């Protein structure tokens, strides 16, 4: 039997924080910074109600942050998504620019790793020559 995902399910701020692995404070901050793709609705009592797709959105934000994307870029991306269709070229340009930045970082890390590996190899050879490995 296939798992059925209830896309109509909503979450309280505490539930979403727990499921997304972030703090309630972080969710409030994300909202204040305009990092959600739409306004977060509230109950008549003022409690936030998050849509099911908020979980996937937060996973995307987490990956972008983990990859070094600045908050300003996330804010711009969220604003483009919030504006709706018609700006896909701008979204693509933003993501491609970040992709290029990541590629440059990867190249730098590869070069750094080569230096570390060469140095480690030299120590390994010295220790082998002395019979210590």
The residue among 3, 78, 89, 81 whose CA lies nearest residue 34 is 78
What is the predicted pLDDT for the residue at 114?
98
Average pLDDT, integer, range 96-122: 98
Summarised one tens digit per residue, pLDDT across range 22-65 is 999 999 999 999 999 999 999 999 999 999 999 999 999 999 99
pTM score over 0.75? yes
Average pLDDT, integer, range 97-111: 98
Residue 22 to residue 58: CA distance in whole angstroms: 9
């Amino acid at each position: 039997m296939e798992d059925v995902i209830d896309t109509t399910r909503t979450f309280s701020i505490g539930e979403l924080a727990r499921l997304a692995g972030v703090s309630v404070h972080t969710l409030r901050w994300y909202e204040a910074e305009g990092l959600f793709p739409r306004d977060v609705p509230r109950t008549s009592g003022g409690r936030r109600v998050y849509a099911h797709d908020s979980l996937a959105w937060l996973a995307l934000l987490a990956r972008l942050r983990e990859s070094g994307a600045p908050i300003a870029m996330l804010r711009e991306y969220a604003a483009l998504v919030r504006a709706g269709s018609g700006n896909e070229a701008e979204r693509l340009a933003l993501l491609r620019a970040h992709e290029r930045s990541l590629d440059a970082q990867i190249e730098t890390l590869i070069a750094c790793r080569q230096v570390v590996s060469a140095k480690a190899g030299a120590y390994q050879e010295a220790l082998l020559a002395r019979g210590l490995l």
